[in-house]
Structure 1
Amino acid sequence: MKEWYGYSKTLAEETVWRFAKENRIDLVVVIPGNVIGPILQPTLNYSVGVIVDLINGKNPSNSFYYRYMDVRDVSLAHIKAFEVPSASGRYILADPDKTMKDIQKFLHELFPDLCRVDKDAENEVSEMACKVCVDKLKSLGIVFTPIKESLKDNVVSLKEMCILI
């Protein structure tokens, strides 16, 4: 499977770093994982689509590699990266402690009547293969919205917009 979206993001970041260096621009890059929380748009984006799939009892391919971040935290990180004078380099925004198994568990706890159980045992979500260090991000003063709160707000907004019934 070719991951063109991820590849294009990598190429774009490499290009902007090269441009910044050549033009002596102080660049700060904010790189979020999958973004969840309350939605504004009336359609599904990729990140929220994964949550909907999980609610519907499907495990999207490669979903055990996903890390999530609340949209409000992503917005704040962009503001802090601009306003905090010491901000520099790359900031990875992803919950370092929650796996997809945790996400599934939280969804079932929060919305037991809504969430369907995946009947395909072969699709069981495995644990994360890597750890994410967010110390640099926290140095900007970011305090993560608890992922369970983000999931709750995400699903509630999906219901309000009639994307989930």
Structure 2
Amino acid sequence: MSKVVCVTGASGAIGSWVVLLLLQRGYTVHATVQDIKDENETKHLEEMEGAKSHLHFFEMDLLDIDSIAAAIKGCSGVIHLACPNIIGQVEDPEKQILEPAIKGTVNVLKAAKEAGVERVVATSSISSIMPSPNWPADKIKGEECWTDLEYCKQKGLYYPIAKTLAEKAGWDFAKETGFDVVMINPGTALGPLLPPRINSSMAVLVSVLKGGKETYEDFFMGTAHFKDIALAHILALENKKAAGRHLCVESIRHFSDLVDKVAELYPEYDVAKLPKDTQPGLLRASGKDASKKLIDLGLEFTPVEQIIKDAVESLKSRGYV
């Protein structure tokens, strides 16, 4: 594979880490952003080592295939992260989240195929694996498990609906065309923030540190370090044997397990005590069982204690807590 890779959603919390690691590995990066004039999207990327000669910005709209094609031109690989990330209530789910996620994924794959790209690694989510309340109670949830769309519709959970339908649309495209697509399904992404803006997962940690009692029962399955998630995408791009879906969590946990660990590591904060089982029907599992496919590709997951420390120290340095 040639050393030119397009990263969509490059300015986000995970996308920024993908760009950083690609530059460190000697790649030239076509980084897509929503607004090329917005320094919140570009400045932290421009300051990375190697950016001056190996980083090129492209303004991209997921619903404008010409803008996607311009960014992908000349690339041998694409890492597709761009997607609306709205966990809470949505006023216009079709316009705000469903159409950009689903149609955007297909548009990226179409443009990549037409440009002769060898492989696309796309970011899905654990939100396309759960909530899945009808999954057998004695079986660990993994890559073969899919989110229950009817359950999500009843509860108005549009983010899992969008991520599930987007991933399925990606697989449909791959099946129909024979195009090489690989999916990464990360859990809650935490660690040192590279962009100036906070992402939704780190905002959840802020809430925990301030005594929040939300259990995120439909949105939590475990956590992973930003760097590990970024590296998972790169390993999946570089390794021909990578195929299918890849659950990306350091282990399968309940949200209460994470909260308890935060309270243990940071007793000076007013962390709430949550019920022990906050994710109904979710069996806990170690990383080697949960994320075996990525470990087999060479990924060594950062332990949860270090993930929390890196994340909290980053939040403290930015004045969020």
Structure 2 length-normalised TM? 0.47
Matched, 1:130 2:285: no
The answer to whether the 8 A contact 1:84-1:140 is kept is yes
Which portions of structure 1, spanning 4 or more consecutive aligned residues, are displaced by more than 6 angstroms?
A: none
1:1-165 aligned at under 5 Å gives the runs 1-63=155-217, 66=220, 67-113=222-268, 115-118=269-272, 124-126=275-277, 128=279, 129-131=281-283, 133-164=290-321
Sort the Cα spacing of 1:107 and 1:38 in 2 relative to 1 into closer, same or farther, 3 A.
same
Instruction: Give the whole-Å Cα distance in 1 for the aligned partners of 2:241 and 2:188.
Output: 26
How far 1:40 moved relative to its partner? Answer: 1.8
The answer to whether the 8 A contact 2:228-2:301 is kept is yes
Higher RCO (CA 8 Å, separation ≥ 6 residues) = 1
The answer to whether the 8 A contact 1:64-1:99 is kept is no
Structure 1: which 5+ residue stretches go unaligned? none
Task: After superposition, give the CA deviation of every residue in 1:60-108 in whole Å (9 maximum; x if it has no partner).
Answer: 2434851111111101100100111211010011232443233222212
Instruction: Give the whole-Å Cα distance in 2 for the aligned partners of 1:136 and 1:127.
Output: 26
The answer to whether the 8 A contact 2:190-2:225 is kept is yes
The answer to whether the 8 A contact 1:73-1:145 is kept is yes
Structure 2: which 5+ residue stretches go unaligned? 1-154
SS in 1 for 2:195: coil
How far 1:144 moved relative to its partner? Answer: 0.7
Structure 1 length-normalised TM? 0.87
Question: What is the number of equivalent residue pairs in this alignment?
Answer: 160
Pair member with larger Rg: 2
| Superposition RMSD in Å | 2.0
State the one-letter code of the partner of 1:124: P
SS in 1 for 2:246: strand
